[in-house]
């Protein structure tokens, strides 16, 4: 109804305008700019609802219900701008107020049953529903999404996967109803990504059958613990377990840190991490444990246990295997970050592209109308490849979610690799997309009410939490190297991780590339497979070179190659290999989704989007650096990208409308930004 009202108002205003003066001078002032709803001039060549079903993949009704639930409450800060209602956090509030309103919003959602069954029900349906819900919550506010992720995925997930039946019976229902407010105390001042090195120490007192948790030094203080500063009542504490003088490695314990009235428990000290560049609705805290005692049953014992008389028990004798089994289920954090960050890219691009379809700048000839921003090829080149990248990430996120919800113990390694690759790549892409959208919106992109600039700060943290992106990408290369070595050692074919292409003849890129060839899915897949194959071979050769000199694999990984004939360094090849694997995996998910569609206008447009994504992957500097493309072919790729952007321009509005993000969760510059900034809007 809002859209219908807007269209009627615009047409009425247009018809009531006075006729232009017949008198013309050589120099005249321009007529005042009038906003025109882009839907009045931009035509849809395909069904946007059908496209949304394809790219959202699941639980559209749940998403829409949650959007509506937030849109109905004044807790979500509704405000009228340009005749439309928008909801978003007030980022200008003091930090303490942002935290309190975040908790109130979460309580509002709890009261309305938004989280029913999240921990007490099992199965693929409930897990996919959780992912869909997080994508919606994060679109409104990253602080709210993060607090919920800590409570359900980290605290609740740890109880589920590390605990056993008596933990589930005691903690899960109270967590689901928010009687217990959980946090996840893993990171320390001195250790983040290196979980095995945490310095918190826990011993066992067989006389009282209690564990004693202690912070032995300042670098062992738990740091950046979401929820700890103000609200959390309980924590999952990751600590070295020392039994009878023998360190058994890192284990997880449940410790109460506040009572029901919010007072700190005995021997627990908590300090605030302070104001951050974003995410100030999350009360990050620092925790010290001064010989805090917890019952023996508070050890989460799915992997290992301690008997009443103090004997360490585990069916996994090897410490490395035990640690791997312990951390394997924690991939849900990275999966949720990867999948939810795509929604912010969607929202940022929707705002920037809608603005570029209504904002004009400069005339090509005197007395002609100024040109729409998105009609400039430079604007198309800035935004439309990012739109293609966001579509590609959407299909890859579906693949990751399906992989996770169908997980088995045998698939944990595969999930770890894909979740690490996608989490790093999607969050990096998101920051790049938001920065480009901010710049594309000019000065309006700086205003917090227009979101894109503020979101940059809010989502910056994603590049380092749940794993530093650079370290995650190094893990990808190491995992691929392990697959390579194992396949060569067994003299068997590659299987899994999409590496089956390594068993086929090496693709050959033609010396001259036509437009048809450049756009074809087969050429693009061949080019991506060629790069991945070559880099994996190079990386294996580099590591082997140093190991032959007596160096360990880890030492070889970090070596520069000043003493070898290679012009590339091991870690640089590793970085390029990680990107090559990820680009190929994302492209493969996109191409497979496209292949499932019957011939239609939707498939035609989606094929153009896929072509554009494949081309920007092949445009990567590594294709020239390692000689996969000639200079002439690289120039042909760049030229083709410009052509495809021009062909996609008429479909830009339909492609962002297909994201299905309600108007209220966008921003004023996505709609009538003239009315939103009028003097009358200030008076109201």
Cα 238 vs. chain centroid, distance in angstroms? 25
Q: How many CA atoms lie within 13 A of 59 on its CB side?
A: 20
DSSP 201: E
Determine if residue 226 is labeled as part of a ligand binding site.
yes
Q: How far is CA 651 from CA 37, 382, 384, 388, 657, in A?
A: 16, 16, 10, 12, 10
CA distance 364 to 378: 15
Please give the radius of gyration of the chain, using alpha carbons only, rounded to the nearest integer.
Answer: 27
The two structure tokens encoding residue 322: 């035990």
Residue carrying the six token digits 């025109």 = 36
The C-alpha atoms of residue 161 and residue 328 are separated, in whole angstroms, by 10
C-alpha 498, offset from chain centre:
22
3-state DSSP assignment of residue 511? coil
**Is 185 within 8 Å of 222 (Cβ atoms)?**
yes
Catalytic site residue from 6, 466, 575, 640? 466
Distance (Å, rounded) from C-alpha 196 to C-alpha 184? 16
Please work out, in degrees rounded to the nearest 5, the angle formed at the alpha carbon of residue 61 by the alpha carbons of 58 and 65: 135
Q: What is the H or E stretch that residue 360 is in?
A: strand 360-361
Distance CA 394, CA 408 (A): 24
CA atoms within 13 A on the CB side of 123: 4
Is 370 one of the catalytic residues? no
Contact 226, 150 (CB under 8 A): yes
Cα–Cα distance measured from residue 340 to residue 343, given in angstroms and rounded to the nearest whole number: 6
The angle formed by the CA atoms of residues 335, 338 and 342, to the nearest 5 degrees, is 140
Cα–Cα distance, 60 to 94 (Å, whole number): 35
Spatial contact of 198 and 220, defined as CB atoms under 8 Å apart: yes
Exposure pattern of 133-147 as b/e (b: 16+ CB <10 Å)? Answer: bbbbbbbbbbbbbbb
Check residue 21 and report its DSSP letter.
P
Residue count of the chain: 684
The partner residues of 124 in beta bridges, in order of sequence, read none
Ramachandran region, residue 244 (left: φ > 0; alpha: ψ -120 to 50; beta: rest)? left
CA–CA dist 293, 168 (Å, integer)? 21
The CA distance from 568 to 206, in Å, is: 56
- The phi, psi pair for 367, rounded to 5°, reads 65, 10
Please state the residue numbers annotated as binding site.
226
Please state the residue numbers annotated as binding site for FAD.
226
Annotated active-site positions, please? 466
């Amino acid at each position: 109804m809002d859209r219908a009202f807007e269209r009627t108002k615009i047409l009425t205003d247009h018809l009531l305008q006075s006729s232009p003066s017949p008198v013309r001078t050589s120099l005249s002032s321009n007529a005042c700019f009038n906003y025109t709803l882009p839907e009045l001039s931009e035509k849809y060549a395909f069904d946007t609802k059908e496209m949304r079903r394809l790219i959202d993949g699941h639980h559209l009704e749940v998403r829409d219900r949650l959007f509506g639930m937030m849109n109905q409450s004044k807790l979500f800060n509704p405000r009228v701008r340009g005749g439309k209602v928008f909801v978003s956090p007030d980022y200008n509030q003091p930090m303490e107020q942002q935290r309190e309103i975040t908790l109130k919003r979460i309580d509002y959602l709890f009261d309305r049953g938004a989280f029913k069954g999240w921990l007490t029900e099992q199965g693929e349906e409930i897990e996919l529903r959780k992912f869909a819900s997080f994508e919606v919550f994060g679109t409104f506010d990253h602080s709210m999404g993060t607090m919920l992720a800590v409570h359900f995925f980290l605290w609740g997930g740890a109880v589920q996967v590390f605990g056993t039946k008596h933990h589930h019976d005691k903690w899960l229902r109270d967590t689901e109803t928010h009687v217990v407010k959980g946090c996840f105390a893993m990171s320390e001042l001195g250790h983040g990504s290196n979980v095995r090195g945490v310095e918190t120490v826990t011993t066992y007192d067989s006389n009282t059958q209690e564990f004693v948790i202690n912070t032995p030094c300042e670098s062992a203080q738990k740091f950046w613990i979401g929820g700890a500063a103000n609200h959390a009542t309980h924590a999952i504490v990751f600590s070295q377990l020392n039994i009878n003088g023998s360190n058994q490695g890192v284990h997880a314990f449940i410790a109460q840190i506040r009572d029901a009235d919010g007072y700190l428990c005995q021997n627990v000290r908590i300090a605030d991490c302070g104001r951050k560049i974003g995410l100030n609705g999350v009360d990050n805290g620092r925790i010290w444990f001064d010989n805090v005692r917890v019952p023996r049953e508070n050890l989460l014992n799915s992997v290992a246990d301690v008997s009443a008389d103090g004997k360490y028990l585990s069916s996994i004798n090897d410490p490395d295997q035990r640690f791997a089994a312990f951390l394997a289920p924690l991939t849900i954090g990275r999966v949720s970050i990867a999948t939810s960050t795509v929604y912010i890219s969607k929202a940022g691009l929707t705002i920037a592209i809608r603005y570029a379809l209504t904002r004009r700048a400069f005339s090509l000839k005197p007395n002609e109308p100024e040109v729409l921003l998105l009609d400039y090829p430079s604007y198309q080149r800035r935004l439309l490849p990012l739109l293609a990248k966001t579509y590609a990430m959407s299909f890859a996120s579906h693949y990751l979610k399906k992989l996770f919800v169908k997980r088995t113990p045998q698939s944990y390694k595969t999930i770890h690799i894909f979740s690490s690759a996608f989490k790093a790549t999607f969050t990096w892409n998101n920051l790049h997309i938001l920065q480009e959208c901010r710049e594309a919106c000019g000065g309006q992109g700086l205003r917090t009410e227009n979101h894109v600039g503020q979101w940059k700060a809010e989502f910056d943290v994603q590049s380092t939490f749940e794993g530093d992106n650079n370290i995650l990408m190094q893990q990808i290369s190491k995992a691929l190297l392990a697959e390579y070595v194992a396949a060569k050692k067994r003299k068997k074919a590659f299987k899994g991780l999409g590496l089956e292409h390594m068993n086929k003849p090496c693709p050959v890129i033609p010396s001259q590339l036509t437009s048809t060839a450049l756009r074809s899915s087969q050429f693009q897949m061949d080019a991506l497979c060629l790069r991945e194959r070559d880099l994996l071979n190079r990386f294996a050769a580099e590591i082997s070179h140093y190991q032959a000199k007596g160096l360990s694999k880890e030492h070889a990984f970090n070596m520069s190659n000043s003493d070898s004939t290679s012009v590339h360094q091991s870690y640089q090849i590793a970085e390029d290999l990680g990107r090559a694997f990820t680009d190929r995996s994302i492209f493969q998910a996109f191409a497979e989704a496209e292949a499932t569609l019957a011939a239609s206008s939707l498939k035609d447009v989606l094929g153009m989007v896929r072509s554009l994504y494949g081309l920007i992957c092949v445009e990567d500097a590594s294709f020239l650096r390692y000689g996969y493309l000639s200079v002439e072919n690289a120039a042909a790729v760049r030229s083709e990208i410009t052509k495809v952007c021009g062909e996609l321009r008429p479909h830009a509005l339909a492609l962002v409308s297909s994201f299905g993000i309600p108007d209220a969760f966008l921003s004023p510059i996505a709609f009538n930004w003239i009315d939103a900034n009028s003097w009358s809007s200030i008076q109201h």
